[in-house]
Chain A
Amino acid sequence: MRLRLAASRRAFILGLLILVILSLVSVLGATGIGRLQISWKTVIGAIGEGLGLVQSGTVERTPLVVVFDIRLSRVVLSYLVGSALGVAGSVFQGILRNPLADPFTIGVASGAAFGAALAFALGWGGTSYLGLGTIPLLALFGALGALALVLMFGRVQGRLRRDTLVLAGIVVATFLSALIALIKALDEEAVSAIVFWVMGSFQGRGWIHVGFSLPYLILGIYLVMKCARELDILTLGEVQARQLGVEVERVRRRLLVGASLLTAAAVSVSGVIGFVGLVVPHLVRMTMGAAHQRLILLSAFLGGLGLLWSDVVARTLLRGGEELPVGVVTALVGGPFFCLLLKRRSGGVILD
């Protein structure tokens, strides 16, 4: 018995190790891929120099900028955003006890999109604050504002209930979508910028965006990891969670805030990228079970890997050098994949 428990722990550690190694290899590999052909030796040298591990001056200026400032920052950002979405997805599915929930179910993404749309319409798209566009800032405010509204409306008699939470999320999301439509109708010049932003992209993002979203990512992951055990118990329902000694309100609020921070941090720097937060937790759950401590960790790595490579496809697929929005890539890959999952595992695991 003890041996078999140890075996399940070994499988988890092995899985984790594989994902960590794959991640490191992927970050390096994806940094080497791009329109400008750069030798692997230069790529490694440039990364080393950028990180301050190698004396400066060993690599020429152009490859250094391309590799370190443009590619590596983008690769790292896409990885972080993917991790955030994977974690947020597994948490939302757990709190809402709905395997079809994703990071955008309760309207956080609509809030971010509204913030960004407002920034475009006000013509602030180009202004920057400490080298950072106003878009991420307004998107973040929008996302947190939407969360605050949902928490306010979702409360019934002082209790945050699962069903009212989803309803409040839908109401807030619908209302904000209407406001976005209104902005588009009033300001036709902003339409294409808004549409492109909403589809999600990492084009033109850099280290500043990594730095902007990192604190929220760390805080979010800390909050949800701290409540991972409680999240396990919450999936049994509110009644049993209370009977097992979980302070349902406090834990649920903390998890919601943590997962929403992750979502907000991701959306504000990349737009709305679908399917990562939906599919990744399912994949992990199917192979490694539902215990959230493991689920969250593995989802972080798998989500990062998935989005990193999706972004590589998005920026290299078209020959002419134009980019696809990465949200289109994840939807094109994730949609059919998810249908396949549903078909194969509809026996109790994915649907109630």
Chain B
Amino acid sequence: MISVEGLMAKYGERVVLHGLNFHVGEGELVGLLGPNGSGKTTLLHCLSRVVRLHTGSVAVAGRELSTYPTQELARVEASVPQRLEISFPFRCIEVVLMGRYPHQHAFGNDSDEDLAVAMEAMRLTDTLDLAQRRITEISGGEAQRVIIARALAQETKIMLLDEATANLDVAHKMQMFDLFLEKNKKGATFLCAMHDLNLASLYCQRLIFLKRGRIRVDGPTMETFTEENLSNIYETEVRIIPHPDSGAPQAMFVPGGQSAKGSAQ
């Protein structure tokens, strides 16, 4: 579904991604992990064509990324940003309906179908009650769920999530990932940049670890979510215990572990 070859990205002279290679197959749910500044957001921006590739190539759904018309690309992949920057008092339903833009024509109004899709997306994200509220007057977590609803309303095969649930309370975090998992089982492909390691382990089948713009580890969660990998990549001491119910590996952090790790190196 997403094929990346020799991807290099630069901001000015600073190289942010140094030649990445990976492939995400249809129906995978992949976690993109790594410390701050490792290039996760830049990678997602390259995949959604916000940042231009310096060298290398990206193919999405079997087609070279650069050959997509902008509107068509937004029918193939949807992005959920890290945070919302909005200072104008749109109603939440209007924000979700913006997700229908890729399916509309010039001068077009929202059709009944657009409205139905938008409302279903709001129902799934538990935001239907907010539909008529102004986006500027609701909480950050609520706004984040509205944005997830907007991405769902795009009805795409690929979802690129950038810390999509970081602002949410625990219950909504789980609810959103249950929803992603359900969509994933129906064939949607997910690439999720995350900081919450344990959440990643619970939901992702495969993890890609980035550090300083390079892929350090890429593989199935059970094989890659190890004390050694995590300690090395995050430069802090990590212990792994199995989840009491599912057995998925869960990371436990050690106070002072960072200095211990630092002195060991």
Indicate which residue in A4, A242, A289 contacts B134 across the interface (CB closer than 8 Å). A289
Q: A5-B115, A285-B89 are in contact. Are A232 and B78 (CB under 8 A)?
A: no
Contacts of A226 in B (CB 8 A): 106-107
On whether the beta carbons of A4 and B132 are closer than 8 Å, the reply is yes
Give the shortest distance, in Å, between A7 (CB) and chain B (any CB): 9
30 contacts between A and B (CB under 8 A): A1-B128, A1-B131, A4-B131, A97-B87, A225-B107, A226-B106, A226-B107, A229-B101, A229-B104, A233-B98, A235-B86, A235-B87, A235-B90, A236-B84, A236-B86, A240-B79, A243-B48, A244-B74, A244-B99, A244-B101, A245-B75, A245-B101, A245-B102, A246-B101, A247-B70, A286-B89, A289-B90, A289-B94, A291-B94, A348-B87
- Kindly count the residue-residue contacts between A and B in the assembled complex, taking CB atoms under 8 Å apart: 94
Q: Does A215 contact B (CB under 8 A)?
A: no
Q: Interface readout for B50-72 with A: 1 if CB under 8 Å, 0 if not?
A: 10000000000000000000111
Q: Does A349 contact B (CB under 8 A)?
A: yes
Contacts of B50 in A (CB 8 A): 238-239, 242-243
Contacts of A4 in B (CB 8 A): 131-132
On whether the beta carbons of B89 and A290 are closer than 8 Å, the reply is yes
> Which 10 interchain pairs have the tightest Cβ spacing?
A245-B74, A245-B102, A290-B88, A245-B71, A243-B79, A348-B136, A290-B90, A352-B87, A247-B70, A243-B48
CA gap between A99 and B87 in the complex, in Å: 8
Q: Could you say which interface size class chain B belongs to?
A: 35 or more
Q: Could you say which interface size class chain A belongs to?
A: 35 or more
Q: Does B18 contact A (CB under 8 A)?
A: no
Q: Does B212 contact A (CB under 8 A)?
A: no
On whether the beta carbons of B87 and A289 are closer than 8 Å, the reply is no
Give the shortest distance, in Å, between B152 (CB) and chain A (any CB): 13
Q: Does B85 contact A (CB under 8 A)?
A: yes
CA gap between A4 and B104 in the complex, in Å: 23
Q: Does A15 contact B (CB under 8 A)?
A: no
Q: Does B183 contact A (CB under 8 A)?
A: no
Give the shortest distance, in Å, between A122 (CB) and chain B (any CB): 43
CA gap between A352 and B70 in the complex, in Å: 29
Most buried by A among B70, B74, B101, B128: B70
Contacts of A290 in B (CB 8 A): 88-90, 94
Q: Does B45 contact A (CB under 8 A)?
A: yes
Q: In chain A between 105 and 121, which residues have their CB closer than 8 angstroms to a CB of chain B?
A: none
Q: Does A327 contact B (CB under 8 A)?
A: no
CA gap between A121 and B137 in the complex, in Å: 53
On whether the beta carbons of A236 and B85 are closer than 8 Å, the reply is yes
CA gap between A232 and B135 in the complex, in Å: 13
Contacts of B90 in A (CB 8 A): 232, 235, 289-291
Known: A5-B131, A242-B50. 15 other contacts (CB 8 A): A4-B131, A5-B115, A239-B45, A242-B48, A242-B70, A243-B50, A243-B78, A244-B98, A245-B102, A246-B71, A246-B101, A286-B89, A289-B89, A291-B91, A352-B87
Contacts of B45 in A (CB 8 A): 239
Contacts of A233 in B (CB 8 A): 98, 101
Q: Does A94 contact B (CB under 8 A)?
A: yes
Contacts from B to A (Cβ < 8 Å): 45, 48-50, 70-75, 78-79, 81, 84-91, 93-94, 98-99, 101-102, 104, 106-108, 115, 119, 128, 131-132, 134, 136-137, 154
Contacts from A to B (Cβ < 8 Å): 1-2, 4-5, 8, 94, 97, 99, 225-226, 229-230, 232-233, 235-240, 242-247, 285-286, 289-291, 348-349, 351-352
Contacts of B119 in A (CB 8 A): 1
Contacts of A352 in B (CB 8 A): 87
Give the shortest distance, in Å, between B218 (CB) and chain A (any CB): 25
Give the shortest distance, in Å, between A318 (CB) and chain B (any CB): 40
CA gap between A200 and B50 in the complex, in Å: 43
Contacts of B73 in A (CB 8 A): 245
Contacts of A1 in B (CB 8 A): 119, 128, 131
Contacts of A246 in B (CB 8 A): 70-71, 101
Give the shortest distance, in Å, between B12 (CB) and chain A (any CB): 10
Residue of B nearest to A238 (CB): B50
CA gap between A245 and B119 in the complex, in Å: 21
CA gap between A233 and B72 in the complex, in Å: 16
Contacts of B84 in A (CB 8 A): 236
Give the shortest distance, in Å, between B9 (CB) and chain A (any CB): 15
CA gap between A244 and B93 in the complex, in Å: 16
Contacts of B89 in A (CB 8 A): 285-286, 289-290, 349
On whether the beta carbons of A239 and B81 are closer than 8 Å, the reply is yes
On whether the beta carbons of B88 and A285 are closer than 8 Å, the reply is yes
CA gap between A290 and B135 in the complex, in Å: 10
CA gap between A289 and B95 in the complex, in Å: 12
Contacts of A243 in B (CB 8 A): 48, 50, 74, 78-79, 81
Give the shortest distance, in Å, between B121 (CB) and chain A (any CB): 13
